[in-house]
Structure 1
Amino acid sequence: MKDLLPPAVRGFDDLDLSWLRARQSVKWHRPTRDVLPAWVADMDFPTPPPVADALHEAIDRYDLGYPDWPDGSPLRAAFARRMVERYAWAASADRVREQTDLIQCLQLVLHLATAEGDAVAVQVPNYPPFLATLRTMNRRAVPVPMRDTEDGWRMDIAALDAAVAANHCKVLLLVNPHNPTGHVLTLDELTDIAATAKRHDLMVISDEIHAELVYSPHRHVPFASLSDDAARRTVTLTSATKAFNLAAIRCAITHWGPDRLLARRDEQPPDLYGTVSPLGVVATLAAWRHGDAWQKDLLTVLDRNRRHVHHVLRTRLPQVRHHLPEATYLAWLDTQSLALEEPPVDRVLSKGRLLLDGGTPFGPQSSTFLRLNFATSHQVLEEVLARLIDALRTTDR
C-alpha cells in the first residue's frame, strides 16, 4: 500500500516514535510503551511554527502579567473577521465571549438556558464528553440517530422533527462537522434543521470546532449564517484548537445569538466561570493570522491519510463498514459483521496492542464501532493499520 502514498510532507511525516512517546499529554503518556495510540482527538504533528514563535516571543518579553482588555480580548474581532473571510458570515464581535474550552462553553450555555430535566435533542453517535455533560447536568438527552446510507452518513430530519415534538425539546445540540462520523451537513440538511428549529422554537447550540478541517468539495456553512431567525436562536461554539492542534492552550469562543441569553451571561460575576489565559489568546491569534499556510499542508496530509485508511480497509478488511470522512481526522468503523465476542476497543487493544476510541460512550447503537485518529505520519499510520487488521482478522475459534 505504500506506493499509493504521495511523497512525505516535511514537518508532518518526519515524526520520531521516541519523540512522540516522550510527550506528557494524555494520548501518548497514558498507554504503555507496547501500545500504539490512535484514540483521543489530538494530532501528532508539531505545533504550527507561527504559533510556537508567538508563544516564545511572549515568554521572551516576560509578558505574563494581567492583560489590558477593558472591552474583551482581541479574539472577538479576530473571530468575526475570520468568519467573514472564511464563510461570508457577518458574525458580531460584540456577541463573542471567551472560555477555556468547548466543553465549558457547552456547560455554561446549558446552565444558563435550561433547567434540570429539560430535553435536549442530540445527534448520535456523538462526542462522549457532550453526552456525559447531559447526564451529569441532568438534562434529558433525546437521541436522534444519524442515518448510515450507501452515500455516507446523513442527518435524519424526519426523526429529528418527530423526536423534538414528542419530547418537547428546548434545545438542539448540533455537531457540524460531525464527530465521529465525519459528515459535513449539507446546505439542504441545515435548511431543514433550521425549519425544524423555528417550528418548535428550539435554541440551537452549534459545535463547529472541526469547521476548518473540511475536505473539498464539501463546504462548511455556519448554522447561524442561514437566516436572521437562525442567527437569533443559535449559540455557536468553536476554537482554533482542533484545526491547529492546540488543545492545551485552553481557549475557546462562544458566539451568543439570543439577546436575552447573552444578557444573562453578562449579568454573571465576571470571573465565576474562569477567564482565558493570555497565552491562549496569543496562540489563537497567531494561528488565525499566520497559520493558513501550515493548515494548507495539514489538510493535504489529512486528505491523503483519510483516503489511505479508506483504501486499505476496503481492500484488506472489507467486512468493516465505513465511509470516507468528509471532515475531521477521525474514521468511524463498524465491526458488526465480524461478530466479535468482546467489545472492539478491547479486541484491538488485547490482540493488536492498539488503543482506539469507540463503543457505547458514543451513544446508543455504537457498541460495534471504533473511532480511529489518522492525524499522524504515514509511517505511524501504516503501523496503526497493520495492527488493526491483524487484531480484527484474528479469530476466536
Structure 2
Amino acid sequence: MTTGATDPLFDDLRVADLRKSHGVKWGRVTGDVLPAWVADMDFPVPEVVSDAIGEAIRNGALGYPDWPDGNPLRAAFAQRMRERHGWEIDPAAVREHTDLIQGLQLLLHLATSPGDAVAVQTPNYPPFLATITTMGRRRVDSPWKRTADGWEPDIAGLARAVAAHDCRVLLLVNPHNPTGRVFTRDELGEIAALARRHDLLVISDEIHAELTHAPHRHIPFASLSEDTAKRTVTLTSAGKAFNLAGLRCSVVHYGPPRLLAVRDAQPPDLYGTVSTLGVAGTLAAWRHGAGWQARLARVLDRNRQRVADAFGEWAGAAAEPPPQAGYLYWFRADHLGVSAADPVAEVLERAGVLLDGGAGFGADGQAHLRLNFATGAAVLEELLARLGALVRR
C-alpha cells in the first residue's frame, strides 16, 4: 500500500494518458509494459513554465533574441547559486549549452586530446561513459564501495587510479547517478585535495543538486575553495528538477579562465545555441517554481521510502537504502531473483517492466538495475506489484 499523503497534481496520472505522450520514456514500450528506466518524470510541467513559454510565443519571441548584456541565464544562475548555496560566482563565467552531454563533449574536445586519461567513478551515467570512449579518451574507472550503511565513494581507490594512469580530468557526478548518493563536505574536500595534487581539471555534473532529500544538502564542488574553483567546470540545468529535458537548455560555469578563453575563441555558433523558449522556461522555473518544487520534493520523498520499504521486504538487510537525492533507485538484480547476465531483458520479459541497468553503467553495473520512481502513487504500486511477483516466483 502507498504510504504518505497523495497530491493530485502528481498522483492523478492515468496510464492511458501517459502512453499517448511523445517522450522516449513511454514511446519505447508497447502493450501493457510499464517503463521505469530513463530519468524522466511522469509529472506535468510546472504551470509557471508552460505559462512563460506560451507568453513568449504570444509576444513574438520566436525571432532572433536581443540580449546585449549576454544570455539572461547567466545572471539568473549566479543568483540561484548565491541564494541556495552561498556560492558567489561571476555571471561572466557562465555559458549555455543544449544539455550536459554536449557540455562534457565540448570540454573534452577543448581540454584534452585522444589518448588522455579521464577518471570516472563507477557505476555512472551511461552517456557520459560512452562519450569518453567514443571520443578516444582513456576511461579510468574507479568503483564505488557498497558498505553496510549504503554506497560510499572509494576516494583512496580513486587516488590510486588517478596516479597509476596519469589522469588529466576527473568527471565528478554530484549528487551521484545512479546510486543517489550525496557527497559530504569531507568527501568533497578529499577529492579537491586529490585534484590539487595531480593538477586535475574537474568536470562536475550537478544536475541532480536540487533533488536532494533532507537532511542531506548539496555542496557545489567549486564552492569549496579558490583553488578548487579555478580547476572546476560545473554543468547543470533545470531539466531534472523541473522535468524540462525537452527544452534542451543547460548552463556551464567555467572556473578556469584559460579554458573559458579557449571556449570563447571558438566560432560562436559552432556548438549550437539554446533557444529563446528554453531560456524562458528555465528562467520561469528558477524564479517562480518554488511551490511546485516543494510539492515535488514531498512526493519523491514518499515514493523513495515506499520503494525502499518494498525492497526491504524482498531482500532484508541486503536491500539498498533509499537514495539521498533524485528519483532513481539502484539495486542488485538478485534482489528480484533475476540473473546478472541480462537483467533488464529478464525483468522486461518476466514482469512487463522496463528498467535500466547492466553493463552500460560500467563493469560495476552489470549485476544491477535502476528503477525510476518519479511517477504517481497508483502507477508506482503497479510497478512494485509486478516486481514483487518476480520475487515471490
TM-score range, shorter chain: over 0.9
Paired residues for 1:153-168 under 5 Å: 153-168=151-166
Of 177-186 and 310-319, the range deviating more from structure 2: 310-319
Of 350-359 and 320-329, the range deviating more from structure 2: 320-329
Task: Give the whole-Å Cα distance in 2 for the aligned partners of 1:7 and 1:367.
Answer: 36
Q: Does 1:203 align with 2:204?
A: no
Paired residues for 1:342-381 under 5 Å: 342-381=341-380
Q: Does 1:82 align with 2:75?
A: no
SS at structure 2 position matched to 1:122: strand
Question: Hey, what does 2:382 align to over in structure 1?
Answer: 383
Contact 2:340 2:368 in 1 (8 A): no
What code does the residue aligned with 2:112 have?
T
Question: Hey, what does 2:266 align to over in structure 1?
Answer: 268
SS at structure 1 position matched to 2:211: coil
What displacement does 1:379 show? 0.3
What displacement does 1:109 show? 0.5
Contact 1:113 1:261 in 2 (8 A): yes
Task: Give the whole-Å Cα distance in 2 for the aligned partners of 1:333 and 1:322.
Answer: 6
Question: Hey, what does 1:65 align to over in structure 2?
Answer: 63
What displacement does 1:34 show? 1.5
Task: Give the whole-Å Cα distance in 2 for the aligned partners of 1:164 and 1:70.
Answer: 43
Contact 1:317 1:389 in 2 (8 A): no
Q: How many residues align?
A: 392
Question: Hey, what does 2:105 align to over in structure 1?
Answer: 107
Contact 2:175 2:183 in 1 (8 A): yes
Task: Give the whole-Å Cα distance in 1 for the aligned partners of 2:365 and 2:391.
Answer: 17
SS at structure 2 position matched to 1:333: strand
Contact 1:348 1:392 in 2 (8 A): no
Q: Does 1:140 align with 2:138?
A: yes
SS at structure 2 position matched to 1:281: helix
What displacement does 1:342 show? 4.2
SS at structure 2 position matched to 1:142: strand
Question: Hey, what does 2:39 align to over in structure 1?
Answer: 41
Task: Give the whole-Å Cα distance in 2 for the aligned partners of 1:21 and 1:174.
Answer: 35
SS at structure 2 position matched to 1:327: coil
What displacement does 1:392 show? 4.0
1:16 to 14, 23, 36: 14
When normalised by structure 1's length, the TM-score is: 0.97
Task: Give the whole-Å Cα distance in 2 for the aligned partners of 1:57 and 1:152.
Answer: 46
Task: Give the whole-Å Cα distance in 2 for the aligned partners of 1:196 and 1:368.
Answer: 30
Unaligned stretches of 5+ in structure 1?
none
Of 123-132 and 320-329, the range deviating more from structure 2: 320-329
Contact 1:204 1:233 in 2 (8 A): yes
Contact 2:343 2:368 in 1 (8 A): yes
Q: Summarize deviations over 1:247-304 as a string: whole Å, max 9, x none.
A: 0000000100111100000000000000100000000000000001100000000000
Contact 1:347 1:391 in 2 (8 A): no
Question: Hey, what does 1:122 align to over in structure 2?
Answer: 120
Of 106-115 and 333-342, the range deviating more from structure 2: 333-342
When normalised by structure 2's length, the TM-score is: 0.98
Task: Give the whole-Å Cα distance in 1 for the aligned partners of 2:9 and 2:98.
Answer: 28
What code does the residue aligned with 1:37 have?
P
CA RMSD in angstroms, aligned pairs only: 1.2
Task: Give the whole-Å Cα distance in 1 for the aligned partners of 2:392 and 2:89.
Answer: 50
What displacement does 1:58 show? 1.1
What displacement does 1:176 show? 0.4
SS at structure 1 position matched to 2:181: coil
Contact 1:180 1:332 in 2 (8 A): yes
What code does the residue aligned with 2:119 have?
A
Percent identity reads 61
Task: Give the whole-Å Cα distance in 2 for the aligned partners of 1:342 and 1:110.
Answer: 33
Q: Summarize deviations over 1:6-50 as a string: whole Å, max 9, x none.
A: 221021000111110100110011200311000000000000010
Alpha-carbon distance change, 65 to 341 in structure 1, aligned in 2, over 3 angstroms: closer
Contact 1:321 1:333 in 2 (8 A): yes
What displacement does 1:365 show? 2.1
Q: Does 1:93 align with 2:91?
A: yes
Paired residues for 1:326-345 under 5 Å: 326-336=324-334, 338=337, 340=339, 342-345=341-344
Paired residues for 1:189-228 under 5 Å: 189-228=187-226
Question: Hey, what does 1:150 align to over in structure 2?
Answer: 148
Task: Give the whole-Å Cα distance in 2 for the aligned partners of 1:15 and 1:372.
Answer: 18
SS at structure 1 position matched to 2:156: helix
Contact 2:231 2:255 in 1 (8 A): yes
Q: Summarize deviations over 1:157-208 as a string: whole Å, max 9, x none.
A: 1101111000000000000000000000000000000000001100100000
Question: Hey, what does 2:241 align to over in structure 1?
Answer: 243
Task: Give the whole-Å Cα distance in 1 for the aligned partners of 2:184 and 2:5.
Answer: 32
Task: Give the whole-Å Cα distance in 1 for the aligned partners of 2:101 and 2:250.
Answer: 9
SS at structure 1 position matched to 2:178: coil
Task: Give the whole-Å Cα distance in 2 for the aligned partners of 1:334 and 1:68.
Answer: 51
Task: Give the whole-Å Cα distance in 2 for the aligned partners of 1:393 and 1:319.
Answer: 18
SS at structure 2 position matched to 1:298: helix
What displacement does 1:140 show? 0.6
What displacement does 1:319 show? 8.1
SS at structure 2 position matched to 1:365: helix
